[in-house]
Structure 1
Amino acid sequence: MRKLIYGFGVSVDGYVNDRDGNIDWTSPDDELHQFHNDRYRDLEVSLHGRRLYELMAEYWPHVAEDAPPIEREFAELWTNKPKVVFSRTLTEVGWNSRLVGANAVEEVRRLKAEGDGVMEVGGANLAASLIPHGIIDEYQVFVSPVVLGGGTPMFPQLDKHIRLRLVETRHFETAVMSRYVVD
């Protein structure tokens, strides 16, 4: 069965974007960017919510030729990586993506069952729909040194606790990563 990872950049107070939806405070240093490139390269498939997909599709397929090599590398990885986009409002997707309009929980369960590699879920709202169902196997939290005071929380409110085990921490210039597996 595939492993599903939820990894996201987050503020010290737990938000993945600010009140206006901006993520300009998450600019990774080169070491962190390379870490994300290497991690993304190893994924079999990437699951995107609509908002994250639109944000990524607006930027990564159009990276300039004179952009830093690390950015050009991620742009190529992102455009070529198989993606499943979950949206009730989009009518089409591009860049090696497939659109799913309903029942994210069942589709993700099916995707997990049909392979033995690694998938990631991107987008706080999509992740929030999966977390209560116990579908996510690992959490990678990249905490940036900023307090936003509001925005979209990384985690939804839950009816019960999810027990996690810390398996790794790593310090980067612009964030600290904590990696947890579900106990």
Structure 2
Amino acid sequence: MQPIIYDVAVSADGFIAGRDADVSAFPHTGAIVDDYVTRLGTYTVVLMGRATYEFGYAFGLTPGANPYPHMRSVVVSGTLDLPKDAQVEVWRDLSGLADLRSAAEGSIYLCGGGELAASIAHAGHLTDLRLKRAPVVLGGGTPLFAGLNAPLNLQPEGQTDYGNNLLFQSFRIT
């Protein structure tokens, strides 16, 4: 059974994006980003919600294109319609998670967003949390977990201080 790892940048007040999906407060260069890119190479499947997938449209991603070509990409959405030749799969619900975890050849990257993360955690399939913590308070936006209805118990696995108050924290969900 492969792990599902939520690897995401987060503000001090728990948001993965500000209002209007603004991510400009998070670092886009430097060692913390370089290490993230290295981790991306270790994942074999990516899971994301509709809003996270469509966020790529603002940066030139075309509907149906795979934003992570080296990974199998799954978008979980009840409303997203893509071309028949789409390079990504669209799941209408999470009923295939156990089969995905069994069939995947390596770790599964949960790219976002907060609602999907809460749903996967609630279903008992979220195994790891990797946070790139930025020293900023956004005051609103997309929460790390939207609608989580039970606490998650976290076992710290490691922390790296990148300077300038940038931290990477890794947790196992127990």
Corresponding residue for 1:87? 77
**Which structure has greater helix proportion?**
1
1:99-128 superposed Cα distances (whole Å, 9 cap, x missing partner): 11x222x12222012235200112122112
- Across the two proteins, how many residue pairs are aligned to each other? 168
- CA displacement 1:77-116 (0-9 Å, x = unmatched): 823422011112221167731111x222x12222012235
String of CA shifts for 1:35-84, please: whole Å, max 9, x gaps.
Answer: 1211111111101111111123542659xxxxxxxxxxxxx982342201
What 5-or-longer segments of structure 1 have no aligned partner?
63-75
| Preserved CA contact (<8 Å) 1:3 1:116 | no
The equivalent residue for 1:112 is: 101
Q: Secondary structure of 1:84's partner? A: strand
Give 1:49's aligned residue. 49
Which residue is equivalent to 1:22? 22
Superposition deviation, residue 160 in structure 1: 3.2
Q: In structure 1, the residue corresponding to 2:20 is in which secondary structure?
A: coil
Name the counterpart of 1:141: 131
Q: Percent identity?
A: 24
* Paired letter, 1:96: Q
Counterparts of 1:158 and 1:146, CA distance in 2: 23
Aligned partner letter, 1:182: I
- Looking at structure 2, the residues matched to 157 and 126 of structure 1 have their Cα atoms a distance apart, in angstroms, of 10
User: Normalized against structure 1, the TM-score is what?
Assistant: 0.81
Q: Which deviates more from structure 2 when the two are superposed, residues 11-20 or residues 110-119?
A: 110-119
Shift in CA distance, 77/160, structure 1 to aligned 2, threshold 3 Å: closer
CA distance in 1, matches of 2:2, 2:108: 7
Equivalent residue, structure 1, for 2:144: 154
Cα root mean square deviation, aligned: 2.4
Query: Which residue matches 2:8?
Result: 8
Runs of 5+ unmatched residues, structure 2: none
TM-score scaled by structure 2? 0.85
